[in-house]
Chain A
Amino acid sequence: MVRPGKFLKVFAITYLIFLYAPALLLPIFSFNSSQIIAFPLSGFTTGWFKALLYQETLHEALKNSLIVAASSSIFATILGTLASRSSSRYNFPGKQFSLTFILAPLVLPEIIVGVSLLIVLIQLGLPLNLWSVVLGHTLLIMPFSILIMNSAFNNLDISLEEASLDLGETPIGTFRRVILPLVYPGIMASLLLGFTLSLDEFIIAFFLTGTETTLPVYIWSLFRFPKQLPTTMALGTILILVSLILLSLSEYFRRRAAKNQTSVL
């Protein structure tokens, strides 16, 4: 290993500070007793967190967000699993082409995706509700699912499937008894990552939501009321914490998936 130069070290640290310092302000101000978001801090309080318990619209938004996050991560994981299974095992015309297009939402600006989906839904005469948000989020999460599941399936030794068939198991039985247990960590990683992405997503949810708002959209609406700002900070703190936990879990499962299969050979 080449030792990084001093400049690179300074650069890396500066980069990390700019990336995470703003997020660190959230927990600091969420425990500050003043309503005004400014230094110096005036005193310690947990009041803003307590206030969260009594906001019914917040609870409604949280419930909506959980429904959307759970549904879209499950849908995206099922579709992603099927897509990467077919791309890793079978060759068919237009495979590369269709894969590229499925992965496109990764690089498309979300606002474009949101606006286009809105236009399509309205043209089709479909109502805007939580399920339209689920649709948008499934589209958004699926590329991540595919990437995670691709690595899980590519690590899977094809002779294990052949061995199962050879021992008299049907293709469906083979999927259940061999393939699923071996790619299961990948599925968990995909579900957790998808859940986190959906929970935090604002732009698509903002365009596609009807009267029922999701949590990020609700938070955005709170900014019109300065008095609510510290409560929003408290909510943000909780969200950051939950996201971090979910992402760590997802990464744990993803690594386990890779380790599980390579150690056998």
Chain B
Amino acid sequence: MGKLVQVKNAFKSFGDVNAVNGVSLDIEEGQFYSLLGPSGCGKTTLLRLIAGFEKPTSGQVFIDNTSMEGIEPNLRPTNMVFQNYAIFPHLNVEENVAYGLRNKRENRTKQNKLVDEALELVGLSGLNKRSANALSGGQKQRVALARALILKPKVLLLDEPLSALDKKLREQMQSELRHLQRAVGITFILVTHDQYEALTMSDRVAVMFDGKVAQEASPRDLYELPTSQKVASFIGEMTFIEGEIIGENQKLKIQSEIFGQITIDKSRVFGQSSKRIVLGIRPEKIAIVPRTSRSKNLVSGKIIDVSYFGETTNYKVACGATETLTISSQNSVGQLSYSVGEEIQLKADLDNIIAFST
């Protein structure tokens, strides 16, 4: 698999604002790639640099080893699904989908066949003649997809395509998009601010803050091994605990108030090594154990807050003088529930702790 899209040290500024501030990316052919970040982090601008709607202040975009410098959007091998879908209101479904075929010089029968295939692909068969104004949000989304995919682009760019849909439909479209991408084999680049969307759909994710890529990894690595506190707290939840390095060989020996002395493999330590260190642990890596059990590494504490989410319950537990742990407990069969003020005993999975030196 070759590198299909390459962004080389791209900058884009609007006046004084550096929307994209030195981004380099390699996106492989056939990947489902996500640009994830809070609003204003430059992810949409980066997508528009690839599409050609914005020109980089400096740096370059390559698609299929060809520099895109000076190439207008209509001549790039990319197609885009817009955030508001941008369905042409004066055309019906069929005319919308066939819009880009006009310049491909296909004959009428071939065009009709392609349109039918594209509509079938997105599950809109038979709606050929429906007016664009009579479509629901989900249907517009599908028309936008069909209209772009019919041109068989090398790269499909999706600008927060699911953000306007309600939760149920959004989840359904997420899995459909994933299947669609596998079926057509086209490289998808998705812009989203929804971490779960990025994790569930993508092969690789680039997390962006302030115009820069903070981390680029597979969804699993991004969640399990975030390389900075900022990424760790943006993707899911993580509890941070102050610690101190007290010894160092192949592993780091760290003293902290809650966990006492623990050792952490250096592959799980990120940042410049220094004395002050912050330990991070995900809420689901801590289990509630019976108060009678006796083993190593047990922590006891008092519940100060309970948030019920249906399938899980989150507890905030005060352990020791200053630190609190957030734990997430599956509400599965036999699981007891606890209320504020109760004393409970916890067992953290120390292998899943990561450390950030600050």
Contacts and interface: CB of A to CB of B under 8 A. Distances in A.
Interface of A: 157, 159-160, 162-171, 173, 177-178, 181-182, 260-261, 263-265
A177 B148 CA distance: 17
A182 B89 contact: yes
Contacts of A170: 74
B151 A260 contact: no
Contacts of B73: 162, 165-166
Contacts of B79: 166-167
Interface stretch (B2-10, B97-105, B207-215, B284-292): B97-105
Given A182-B89, A261-B89, A166 B84 contact: no
Contact of B84 (A164, A167, A265): A265
B196 interface: no
A163 B161 CA distance: 14
Contacts of A177: 99, 102
B103 A159 contact: no
Contacts of A163: 80, 82, 86, 88
A261 B88 CA distance: 10
Contacts of A164: 88, 99
B90 interface: yes
A170 B100 CA distance: 11
Interface of B: 51, 53, 72-75, 78-80, 82-84, 86-90, 99-100, 102-104, 132-133, 147-148, 151
B99 A167 contact: yes
A130 B75 CA distance: 48
A169 B72 contact: no
B78 A166 contact: yes
B45 to A, nearest CB: 14
Nearest to B75: A168
Contacts of B132: 264
Q: Which 9 A-B pairs have CB atoms at the shortest separation, nearest pair first?
A: A167-B100, A163-B86, A264-B89, A159-B86, A165-B73, A165-B74, A181-B90, A159-B82, A166-B80
B149 to A, nearest CB: 11
B99 A162 contact: no
A55 to B, nearest CB: 46
Contacts of B89: 160, 182, 260-261, 263-264
Given A163-B80, A166-B53, A173-B103, 12 more contacts: A165-B72, A165-B74, A166-B148, A167-B99, A167-B148, A167-B151, A168-B75, A168-B100, A168-B151, A264-B87, A264-B133, A265-B84
A97 to B, nearest CB: 21
Contacts of B151: 167-168
B86 to A, nearest CB: 4
B99 A159 contact: no
B88 A178 contact: yes
A265 B85 CA distance: 9
Contacts of B82: 159, 162-163
B147 A167 contact: yes
A63 to B, nearest CB: 37
28 contacts: A159-B82, A160-B88, A162-B53, A162-B73, A162-B80, A162-B86, A163-B82, A163-B86, A165-B73, A166-B51, A166-B53, A166-B79, A166-B148, A167-B74, A167-B99, A167-B100, A167-B147, A168-B104, A168-B151, A169-B99, A169-B100, A170-B74, A173-B103, A178-B88, A182-B89, A263-B133, A264-B132, A265-B84
Contacts of A182: 89-90
B99 A157 contact: no
A182 B99 CA distance: 15
B103 A169 contact: yes
A263 B84 CA distance: 13
A159 B84 contact: yes
Contacts of B74: 165-171
A157 B140 CA distance: 16
Determine which residue in A159, A164, A170, A265 has the highest number of CB atoms from chain B within 10 A of its CB, and name it: A159
A249 to B, nearest CB: 20
